[in-house]
Amino acid sequence: MDALEFKKVFEEKYVENQSFDGMSDIIKTLEDVKKNKDRALRSYTEKFDGVKLDNFKVPAEKLKESYDSLPEDEKESLEMIRQRIEDYQKTIKYSDQNDGEFKYVYHPLEKVGVYVPGGTALYPSSVLMTVVPAMTAGVREIHVTTPTFGDNNITFAALYLCGVENVYTVGGAQAVAALAYGTETIPKVDKIVGPGNYYVAMAKRLLFGEVGIDMIAGPSEILLYIDDKVDVDSIVYDIYAQSEHDANARTFLLSEDAGIIDRIEGRLKELIDAQPRADIIRASIENNHYAVIDYREALIDLVNHIAPEHVSVQHKDSAMIVKNIKYAGAVFEGYYSPEAIGDYAAGPSHVLPTDRTGRFSHGLNVNDFLTSHAIISLNEETFLDIAGSAMTVAKKEALDAHYQSLKIRTE
């Protein structure tokens, strides 16, 4: 299909017909945790994870044991990635500004909650992509919740490497509620960050205002903009890499050449049975994979319309195309910048806006863990220079006390 046809399909499937099943169950869970605190968390952990826990907090020695049990190559890999993320975050961190009459100052948040997915798989990368920016910002207390997943694991090891001491084996919407409201064991935090499933995302959405959040992330998605010279199998595995997240993951393949699209679509079918997560990939591709063929201006316009989580540009004119992409979670340019490297070791966080929220938000970074305010310190000369205009507007707004507060200082 062409870009115009696909816009209609996209609007119908992903914009107009969104529904949020299970919202009432999530609301009940949040209310239960708010009222019953740890008792509710124990009940949900037993119900959903099949584990009875008296104490949710992971002992410090358990985190250290997990790290010590890792092979050296895994320790070195985690440390290399941790350092690369920290180095990147330092380059974009805001700093205080001062021009004499006003200052703009930044302060780290006091307490942050980090949700790390788990339960069926381990995600040490999500630890590094969320905790390291928070630590770089200077957050004093970081509290991590993650579904229980064995005694010693690489998620615990990554938390130990980052120096996190407050870890709780609680997952799901109930974990988000615990961080938002506080329980006997888990303290109330100022902001909750981190990826999770539908229930985690909807809990964050419902609790925004009670607590700050990073974003409401939906199914993962990638848009690949390619030319006819790409390596077909590389693109196939880029699509598989996105599709294996879950059956709802979305992939969009855009090109100005119909022939390369046909070759890739054929190869997708040829290789799929050999993939370890073939069932998930197949479901994702059958329901959420689209190929669009059109001229360049139409395709670039479509990229900005979709505002995807990930955009991969593998095209001879990549510099020009990338220059014209305005809305995306992250853009990966060239053969040696596949999206998969961004999930682990590129540097920027892999916690990114999805579901068109890239039109008005950005990926998680160090500045999301800072708050700021202005300090206004005018001298007499500046005040007298601008007070007249302020008095004129105050009078027009019929706010007499404002007017008098200014006028008295001019006399």
CA distance 63 to 406: 59
Task: Given the residues 256, 309, 350, 362, select the one marked as catalytic.
Answer: 309
Task: Quickly count: other Cβ atoms within 10 Å of residue 232's Cβ.
Answer: 14
Structure token pair of residue 353: 């806006």
310 is catalytic: yes
Q: What is the CA radius of gyration of the chain?
A: 25
**Sheet of 141-145: strands edge to edge?**
166-168, 141-145, 111-115, 191-193, 212-213
Backbone torsions φ then ψ of 121, nearest 5 degrees: -155, 165
Within 198-295, residue ranges assigned H as helices are: 198-207, 232-243, 258-271, 278-288
The vertex-75 CA angle with 73 and 78, nearest 5°, equals 105
For residue 27, how far is the Cα from the chain centroid? 23
Question: In 3-state terms, what secondary structure has residue 142?
Answer: strand
For the chain, give percent helix, strand, coil, nearest 5.
50, 15, 35
> Within 13 Å of residue 360, how many CA atoms lie on the same side as its CB?
3
Task: Given the residues 310, 315, 350, 362, select the one marked as catalytic.
Answer: 310
350 is catalytic: no
Strand segments, DSSP code E, in 155-229 are 166-168, 191-193, 212-213, 221-226
Cβ atoms 167, 194 nearer than 8 A: no
Cβ atoms 258, 347 nearer than 8 A: no
Active site residues: 309-310
